[in-house]
């Protein structure tokens, strides 16, 4: 094994290279500025951020470990090594360094995400005692082949029965509307089949900062359905186009459990897909689902989505 040096990673020196590695590993584009923004937002919870270098000072990979905002005993982490540098011991050193740091900090649980089409990465994790806790599959839709009239009668019928189909943009994207969107988004996310029941955000203020103030947040792509007889926000489907991509991403589609079985999920998702085609001007849409979320996967298959690589959430308990 070649001599490998571990050193602290820093935003100015390393985040350009780290952004490239994140994008490669996650198959989603990311920028140096986005990474710096994320680092600044969570800096007080980061317990380890190290870079591995070869004897010539070339970056081989890095680790990044952050305490969960909801459980101080849990750490979410990454260990990513350049593909051409794998098999030389950098991953092992980075992981061992991270686990040792976590144990010293009395962390009880480690959690990471691994691409489900990367058996080598899964084997690496399992050799270190990790087990699969959740499987999120990818889905992709060709909008040129999509029949957007598939739910037209259902949408018209729901509108006649008092359901208002609108968007955060039409509603003015006010703080009041953002609070209602937060409540619906958080509740439906926790109720998704296969969910661990944990909140996605710490508070409305956290949601407002991480979602409503994010560059990718587009009010006209935040579709909502309101029951005008009660004022209840019954369903939503959020879609956007990340900078540098040629496709749209459906972030979340959810229906208040009191309104399930009325085809609201299908209806609001249709509007999001039309927005992707007509406003975002893309040819395809991607999304991810917990593999246990049968109802939403069935809707996507009905619309013509095909399955693509996903992510395994792996966990390890530290004694």
Q: Is 278 exposed, middle or buried (0-12, 13-18, 19+ CB in 10 A)?
A: exposed
Sheet holding 74-81, edge to edge: 5-8, 46-53, 59-67, 74-81, 109-115, 306-317, 131-142, 284-290, 248-255, 232-240, 222-227, 163-167
Instruction: Name 68's Cβ contacts closer than 8 Å, sequence gap at least 6.
Output: 45, 74, 75, 76, 111
The pLDDT of residue 99 is 97
Question: What domains does the chain contain, in order, with CATH numbers?
Answer: 5-107 (3.40.630.30), 139-308 (3.40.630.30)
- Convert the pLDDT of each residue in 124-133 to its tens digit: 999 999 999 9
- pTM to 2 decimal places: 0.83
Q: Which residues pair with 234 in a beta bridge?
A: none
Q: Is residue 236 a contact partner of residue 258, using CB atoms and an 8 Å limit?
A: no
Average pLDDT over residues 272-286: 97
The pLDDT of residue 29 is 67
- Convert the pLDDT of each residue in 56-115 to its tens digit: 999 999 999 999 988 889 999 999 999 999 999 999 999 999 999 999 999 999 999 999
Residue labelled with tokens 């029949």: 147
- Convert the pLDDT of each residue in 232-268 to its tens digit: 999 999 999 988 889 999 999 999 999 999 999 999 9
């Amino acid at each position: 094994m070649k001599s490998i040096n571990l050193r602290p990673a820093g935003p100015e020196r390393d985040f350009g290279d780290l952004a490239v590695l994140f994008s490669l590993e996650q198959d989603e584009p990311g920028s140096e500025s986005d990474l710096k923004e994320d680092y600044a937002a969570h800096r007080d919870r980061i317990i380890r951020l190290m870079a591995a270098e070869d004897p010539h000072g070339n970056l081989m990979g890095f680790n990044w470990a952050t305490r969960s905002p909801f459980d101080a005993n849990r750490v979410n982490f990454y260990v990513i090594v350049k593909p051409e540098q794998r098999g030389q011991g950098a991953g092992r050193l980075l992981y061992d360094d991270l686990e040792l740091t976590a144990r010293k900090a009395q962390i009880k649980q480690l959690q990471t995400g691994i691409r489900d089409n990367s058996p080598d990465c899964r084997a690496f994790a399992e050799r270190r005692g990790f087990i699969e806790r959740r499987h999120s599959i990818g889905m992709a839709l060709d909008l040129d082949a999509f029949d957007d009239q598939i739910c037209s009668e259902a949408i018209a019928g729901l509108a006649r029965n008092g359901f208002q189909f609108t968007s955060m943009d039409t509603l003015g994207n006010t703080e009041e509307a953002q609070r209602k969107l937060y409540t619906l988004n958080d509740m439906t996310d926790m109720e998704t089949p296969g969910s661990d029941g944990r909140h996605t955000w710490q508070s409305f203020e956290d949601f407002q900062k991480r979602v409503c103030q994010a560059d990718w947040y587009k009010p006209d792509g935040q579709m909502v359905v309101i029951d005008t007889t009660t004022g209840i926000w019954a369903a939503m489907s959020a879609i956007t186009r990340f900078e540098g991509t040629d496709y749209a991403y459906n972030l979340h589609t959810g229906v208040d459990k009191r309104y399930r079985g009325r085809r609201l999920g299908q209806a609001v998702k249709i509007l999001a897909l039309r927005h992707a085609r007509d406003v975002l001007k893309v040819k395809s849409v991607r999304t991810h689902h917990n593999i246990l979320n049968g109802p939403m996967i069935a809707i996507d298959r009905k619309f013509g989505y095909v399955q693509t690589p996903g992510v395994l959430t792996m966990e390890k308990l530290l004694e």
